[in-house]
Structure 1
Amino acid sequence: MMAVRAHWLLVVATALAAVFVAAAPAQAEIALVLPASAERTAMRVEPLASYALAVSAMRAGEVRLLPLEGRLSQAAWRLRETPDSSLQILQGLRAQILAAGYAVVFECETDGCGGFDFRYRLRLLPEPEMHVDLGDFRYLAAVRGEGASAEHLALVVSRSTGSGFVHLTQIAPAESGGDPSAASMAPAFEPDTGPIEVAPLGTSPLPETPTAAVAALAARLETSGSVVLDDLAFETGAATLSPGGYTSLAALAAYLAANPARQVTLVGHTDAVGALAGNIVLSRKRAEAVRARLLEAHGVNPAQVGAEGAGWLAPRASNLTEAGRALNRRVEVVLTST
């Protein structure tokens, strides 16, 4: 079984390399690389269709749905006798999706999604072609591009005794011959109102395109309650934010402008080198520097943004390695009121 998994990882690595060297100017539907044991059980393609993409967990009986129109393709696979968990299957597929230029806007797992009720809000290929174990499934929604050319996908991964199951839905602008004005009128992602309690999302960097970055930041704030601003750079050993534009700050400013009732706090963090008192001061000064940049360069309302420092009290990785210490040196934004 280890040999089979190692072979799949090698195939995935090869596929990821191909994504980065491909030179086709036009975007194409993503073709997932699956383990050798995978068997495609069903596929459906509609040149022009409507689809509601789930972008939140079930809350008070409702799921936030993003209405889309365009070319709809759905495929399902069964992975027979796989030793991998649903998370292991998802990780390999998520890596391919990110490498293809998509940004994850929502991700959840079983009860964090809403369990039975969430699953049956999803438009999937029917049983037995696609089986979803209600005690073990994962969901991911992602977007690539923006405006009229935006492409969306939804991935469902599940596992039951002896087998894994994968379902991929892709929605792209309609092919020529359809009504392009209707197919490309996908609305911009707007954050939901109110907190959503689901499993934390990953901390992958925000996408570079403005619309996708705002959508990703909004989804992460609304679901996990905080987002690490991973693209920020500070002068060595100082609290001065380096010059230049930062995707994360532009996205945060746009989110706050669209949601004037929201308030956030910027929280600075350090590694565990040095005394706590000094690190709290440094982390707070870095958070204040980020706040100042938001106010001065992006026109953010001062009443919407606070700044605090936590020093090394909240690590996200081990401080025993340089890689871990680097991850711990960060500024994150926390949603503090709705």
Structure 2
Amino acid sequence: MSVKKISRHSPPNCGARAASASVLALMALLGAAAQAADTYNSDRPGGADHRLLSRYQGSLLYMYGEEALGKADMLFDDKGKPVMRPVEGRISNRMYWGPKKKSPLEVYRNYRHALETAGFKTIYACETKQCEAGAVQDAVQDLPRKVVWKDSDIFVENTFNSANQPGFHYYSGRRTGPDGDTYVSVALAGGYEDEPVFGRVRQFVQIVEPATAELGKVSVDAKAIGGALKRDGRIALYGVKFDTGQAVLRPESTAQLAEMAGALKAAPALKVYIVGHTDNQGELQGNSTLSQKRADAVVAALSSKYGIAPARLLGRGVANLAPLASNDSEAGRAQNRRVELVVR
């Protein structure tokens, strides 16, 4: 029997190991290629079109992002010139790649037609030559970098990175509704030279809907309450919370009630009205009854839970008779729904 000698300088089965390494490397490359293909040929997981505006048919949702309340920059027409101004509300951002062989102009005019059909009034619009004359692409090139995205990458951040890219178009519009104005802006340009998205129209779509901050998340401390009562004779508080149409204090009211009690204990001779206010939704009589019940609930809590003498507290409900802001918008109505301490 002959025995095959193995060189000390070569590990056993080196050929098999090399082959195995090559197979693993090939599999890694194929996996990376498959992942890249999936990234550029299917929607971003978890994303969807906004309910107010669909994508151009056949487009890919590459990126998306939401912001519950924020400010967004949009172009407005100022005597024929584009001027960037901020608008505020709930912001929804979308980035799409168009289907291959579709022109930027065709995509742009479809968006504009759909928005105008839906009742949006144009606040600024330009096609390529007018956009170039107004340096519009220079004005908007930072917008994709400044907004909120689920993720971000070079394709998103550099969408309009250099001025006068071919096929650049822009549209912004506004639609007025019972709760305020809704804004939409669309900026798009021809495809990148990069192979994954070659020839696919880039579409940056931003929708800003009416939204307001939910007041009452921060309680006003006892010192500030006492100072306001001494200085102004009154203070409006938003940390005292009730469910819609109800007069039962919500648990998150505890912090604000404790600070109100602290201010009253720091000034033992002080007597106050507890005044309940509503917005103008509903009938006056119903709002009067509701605001009185809410004022009484605050009086009861300050007396029973925090030891404030009932003789120092007098509850009054004034419904929507003393607004602080217009009731024409949700922001104004939120400001009007409040409890006030007023010096007697």
Bigger CA radius of gyration: 2
When the two structures are superposed, what TM-score results if normalisation uses the length of structure 1? 0.36
TM-score, structure 2 normalization: 0.36
